[in-house]
Amino acid sequence: MNILLLGSGGREHAFAWKIVNSKKCNQLYVAPGNAGTGQIAENIPLSVTDFEGLADFVLHKKIDFVVVGPEEPLVRGIVDFFAAREDLKNIPIIGPGQIGAQLEGSKDFSKKFMERCGIPTAASQTFTKETLEEGLKFIDLQELPIVLKADGLAAGKGVLICNSYDEAKASLKEMLLESKFGSASEKVVIEQFLSGVELSVFVATDGIHYIILPEAKDYKRIGEGDTGLNTGGMGAISPVPFADKEFLEKVESRIVIPTIKGLEKQNIPYTGFLFIGLMNVNGDPYVIEYNVRMGDPETQAVLPRIKSDFVDLLYALGTKKLHQYQFETENSCTATVVMVAGGYPESYRKGDTIEGLKGIESADKSLTFHAGTQLSNSNKVLTNGGRVMAVTGIGNDPYEALKNAYNTVEKISWVNVSFRKDIGQDLLALKKD
């Protein structure tokens, strides 16, 4: 099959690696891709939001199906765009339509959806400029800390955890009156703080049937010991030791099934991946957020644990035949370490030469996924973003997976490279207790 994948991060390199390893893949194109995807597939210089350009490409290259990596084209309605075009409507595009994508695109929408479906989540209320005074009074009635969330997409920065009433009130005013997060904070969700350990559960669905992919834990903060600024994600571990059978059964019965049934009942067509950010509160799962795509870097830890054919999975999603797909996972553990440019998530340099990539062997039991990279005219791999590489170690247990990941990380370098050295340590400490 000829396949078009949209995106350019580590997640997309992992998707590309899995797709080209399937016998079912004839040709893979990635728009726009990175230096890593360019080594295993053909990069196409088209933006993920250039719907007309992508449509022309799909028709010209006789693409059999399209996979969407990031949320932005989904929230902007790429799936609806394909469905509305007579010449494209029969080409499966894997991702939810614009309404379904609101599960990520609008916190208010997703909270109301969860309330309608009876899905456990933090209690909340939404406020606008017009209801600011009520919002300020609402804050006084909450326990500390108080969570404020910009309604729209805010590049992962739109959540504030406020430790005093004054801070919460000042932040609410900044968000609603001074557009702290641009139009994303025209509405603000104020919610109860949930205390516990987080994990991410991934569901693949054709809108009716679903499978639950291996779960993962992400490390969001830049600094060791979960300190410092939030990032896109600095590492991941799969499986998550505390997510035992009993906990995952609660996730399935209380969250996954009501979500899929809710989408169906409310006539929200949904194909593709659903990422459920969860908090384990004393053994009970609560939804922190939905994302309408796979996570990055969780994908780099999750996909290597899928044994059954990945192209078959994608095609089954796109053609709504997921019930005919035999899903199998590997018994392995994975650990992903993200290597970033010094300064990230604040300002950082681009264009540094990445050394050591050629010295990595398959015996290292690791996979090296590119994120922000670019090939120079002289074929050198250069840094081209904040998150530059994601290295996944594979092992029989988390210790071995981590050792294999860090062994490879040590071989790769560039000026001012930085990474967290404590990925997985919190989970291993929990396991010992």
Write out the residues near ligand GLY by the rule CB under 6 A.
218, 232-233, 291, 295-296, 298
Interface residue with ligand AMP among 1, 83, 132, 159 (CB under 6 A) is 159
Dist. CA 358–CA 363, nearest whole Å:
13
Tokens of 289: 């957020």
Closest approach of ligand AMP to the CB of residue 195, in Å: 7
Q: Residue 295 binds which one of ligand AMP, ligand GLY, none, with CB within 5 to 8 A depending on kind?
A: ligand GLY
How many residues of this chain bind ligand AMP (CB under 6 A)? 12
> Rounded to the nearest whole angstrom, what is the least distance from the CB of residue 107 to ligand AMP in the complex?
7
Q: Is 147 in the site for ligand AMP (CB under 6 A)?
A: yes
Smallest distance from ligand GLY to CB 33, Å: 18
Task: Tell me: does residue 122 bind ligand AMP (CB under 6 A).
Answer: yes
Q: Hunting for tokens 């394909």 — which residue is that?
A: 82
CB of 277 to ligand GLY, least distance (A): 8
Which uninterrupted H or E stretch holds 81? helix 78-84
Which CB, 192 or 416, lies closer to ligand AMP? 192
Three-state DSSP at 201 gives: strand
Part in contact with ligand AMP (CB under 6 A); list of ranges 6-14, 78-86, 193-201, 365-373 = 193-201
- Dist CA 341 CA 346 (whole Å): 10
Q: Please choose which of ligand AMP, ligand GLY, none residue 288 contacts, taking the beta carbon within 5 to 8 angstroms, the exact cut-off set by kind.
A: ligand AMP
Candidates 57, 138, 165, 193: give the one binding ligand AMP (CB under 6 A).
193
Cα–Cα nearest to 367, from 387, 344, 395: 395
List 24, 220, 350, 411, residue binding ligand AMP (CB under 6 A):
220
Closer residue to ligand AMP (CB): 75 or 288: 288
Q: Is 250 in the site for ligand AMP (CB under 6 A)?
A: no
Q: Which of 198, 312, 400, 422 binds ligand AMP (CB under 6 A)?
A: 198
Reference 330, options 353, 304, 348, 309; nearest CA is 304
Cα 116 from Cα 141, distance rounded (Å) = 24
Q: Are strands 146-150 and 159-162 parallel, antiparallel or unpaired?
A: antiparallel
Q: Is 77:106 a contact under the CB 8 Å cutoff?
A: no
Please, which of residues 60-119 interact with ligand AMP by CB under 6 A? none
Task: Report the amino acid identity of residue 336.
Answer: T
Element (H, E) at 39: helix 35-40
Tokens of 391: 């290295």
**221 belongs to the binding site for ligand AMP (CB under 6 A):** no
Q: Which of 12, 104, 108, 191 forms a contact with ligand AMP (CB under 6 A)? A: 191
**356 makes contact with ligand AMP (CB under 6 A):** no
Of 16-24, 186-194, 234-242, 307-315, which segment contacts ligand AMP by CB under 6 A? 186-194
- DSSP code of 155? T
Beta bridge partners of 32: 7
Q: Which residues contact 72 (CB under 8 A, 6 or more apart)?
A: 48, 49, 153
When the beta carbons of 223 and 351 are compared against ligand GLY, the nearer one is 223
Q: Please select the residue that binds ligand AMP; options are 167, 186, 289, 426, rule is CB under 6 A.
A: 289
Distance CA 242, CA 244 (A): 6
CB of 232 to ligand GLY, least distance (A): 6
Nearest to ligand GLY of 6, 168 (CB atom): 6
Stretches 5-13, 57-65, 187-195, 351-359: which one binds ligand AMP (CB under 6 A)? 187-195
The pair of structure tokens assigned to 167 is 């801070």
Smallest gap from Cβ 282 to ligand GLY, in A, equals 24
The binding track of 303-342 with respect to ligand AMP, each residue x by CB under 6 A or -, is ----------------------------------------
Closest approach of Cβ 259 to ligand GLY, in Å? 17
Helices 165-177 + 132-140 axis angle, to 10: 160
| Contacted by 312, from ligand AMP, ligand GLY, none: CB < 5 to 8 Å by type | none
**277 binds ligand AMP, rule: CB under 6 A:** yes
Q: Does 148 contact ligand AMP by CB under 6 A?
A: no
CA nearest neighbour of 262 among 96, 108, 113: 113
**Radius of gyration of the CA atoms of the chain, in A:** 21
**Nearest by Cα to 190 from 259, 111, 114:** 111
Q: Rounded to whole angstroms, how far apart are CA atoms 360 and 356?
A: 7
CA 238 to chain centre: 14
Say if residues 148 and 162 touch (Cβ distance below 8 Å).
Answer: yes
Give the type of residue at 385.
G
Binding site for ligand AMP (CB under 6 A): 122, 147, 156, 159, 191, 193-194, 198, 220, 277, 288-289
